[in-house]
Amino acid sequence: MAPTATIFLDIDNTLYSASTGISAAMGKKIHDYFTSLGLDEEEASELHMSYYKQYGLALRGLILHHQVDPVDFDRKCDGALPLEDLIKPDPSLRKLLQDIDRSKANVWALTNAYRPHAERVLRILNLEDQIDGLVYCNYTQPNFVCKPDAQFYHEALEKAGVSDPATCYFVDDNRINVDAARALGWGHVAHFLEKGLVHVEGGKVKEIGSEKLGDGNNGVEVINRLEELRKIWREVFK
Ligand SMILES: [Mg+2]
């Protein structure tokens, strides 16, 4: 019987820990990209944050307001990260994915990154063969969508051949992305929260878990280790 469930995994800061420092390295590359457009340090920081907040990705603001070529941006930012020095395969994570019962669930990656970065991370982590499909942000499309746009999630379901969002599982380190999936009726959603670690969001350093969340979890499970998926998603593991 074909699998009836689909698991969607975020990639960045989910399949590797925020402790790798990749978000800081990424934030620095994006900041340098802003300053390369002739903005001074302060303007660059302000716009970086405001575009990130407003559009989900700084890049979308850069395209809309600065006519930036997204492929050039990707090459100079994500493409220029020394990922091979920052992340390495984690045998326990590989085992976790291997222990998912593939007769019950397909496993997809769902990322706001462009395809080359997504594939590179999966390759370095030695997880490529564990992923059945990839939903990424297509930077070459004018007005491309990304998480947390509802359209991006609809396209993910279409791409993965899912007709009922209730059969979806999703884990992401960004609470806004998780809440968006939940609001669209995705059945099982988890927020990967490495409380106490620091990461960089919109170019600013932030302690993870320091933001105030709304009352109640609204059906969102909060985990601080991916291993906990075995427990909260027991029915799709062997
Ligand atoms: Mg992430």
Query: How far does the centroid of ligand 1 lie from the alpha carbon of residue 39, in Å?
Result: 27
Read off the tokens for 118. Answer: 């997504």
Last residue of a domain, one of 47, 66, 83: 83
What 3-state class would DSSP assign to 40?
A: coil
Q: Give the whole-angstrom CA distance, residue 159 versus residue 123.
A: 21
Last residue of a domain, one of 83, 103, 118: 83
60 and 148, same domain (yes or no): no
Query: How far does the centroid of ligand 1 lie from the alpha carbon of residue 192, in Å?
Result: 9
- CATH of residue 102: 3.40.50.1000
- For residue 213, the model assigns a pLDDT of 62
55 and 160, same domain (yes or no): no
Query: How far does the centroid of ligand 1 lie from the alpha carbon of residue 64, in Å?
Result: 23
Query: How far does the centroid of ligand 1 lie from the alpha carbon of residue 209, in Å?
Result: 14
- For residue 216, the model assigns a pLDDT of 63
Query: How far does the centroid of ligand 1 lie from the alpha carbon of residue 154, in Å?
Result: 19
- CATH of residue 35: 1.10.150.450
Question: Highest-confidence range of 152-161, 192-201, 217-226, by mean pLDDT?
Answer: 152-161
- How many structural domains does the chain have? 2
12 and 39, same domain (yes or no): no
213 and 137, same domain (yes or no): yes
pLDDT in tens, 204-216: 888 888 776 655 6
Q: Which of 4-8, 57-61, 158-162, 195-199 has the lowest mean pLDDT?
A: 195-199
65 and 157, same domain (yes or no): no
- For residue 2, the model assigns a pLDDT of 83
Query: How far does the centroid of ligand 1 lie from the alpha carbon of residue 14, in Å?
Result: 5
Provide mean pLDDT across the span 136-144. 90
Query: How far does the centroid of ligand 1 lie from the alpha carbon of residue 68, in Å?
Result: 23
Query: How far does the centroid of ligand 1 lie from the alpha carbon of residue 1, in Å?
Result: 32
Read off the amino acid at residue 208.
Answer: I
51 and 166, same domain (yes or no): no
Residue 67, domain extent: 22-83
| Burial of 85 from C-beta contacts in 10 A (0-12 / 13-18 / 19+) | exposed
Last residue of a domain, one of 56, 83, 110: 83
Query: How far does the centroid of ligand 1 lie from the alpha carbon of residue 11, in Å?
Result: 6
- For residue 184, the model assigns a pLDDT of 97
Q: Higher confidence at residue 79 or residue 196? A: 79
pLDDT in tens, 93-129: 999 999 999 999 999 999 999 999 999 999 999 999 9
Q: pTM for this one?
A: 0.93
pLDDT in tens, 41-72: 999 999 999 999 898 889 999 999 999 999 99
Query: How far does the centroid of ligand 1 lie from the alpha carbon of residue 206, in Å?
Result: 14
Q: Give the whole-angstrom CA distance, residue 56 versus residue 145.
A: 9
156 and 76, same domain (yes or no): no
Query: How far does the centroid of ligand 1 lie from the alpha carbon of residue 40, in Å?
Result: 28
145 and 223, same domain (yes or no): yes
229 and 111, same domain (yes or no): yes
Query: How far does the centroid of ligand 1 lie from the alpha carbon of residue 33, in Å?
Result: 21
128 and 164, same domain (yes or no): yes
Query: How far does the centroid of ligand 1 lie from the alpha carbon of residue 172, in Å?
Result: 6
DSSP string, 126-192: T-GGG-SEEE---TTSTT---TT-HHHHHHHHHHHT-S-GGGEEEEES-HHHHHHHHHTT-SEEEEE
115 and 9, same domain (yes or no): yes
Read off the amino acid at residue 128.
Answer: E
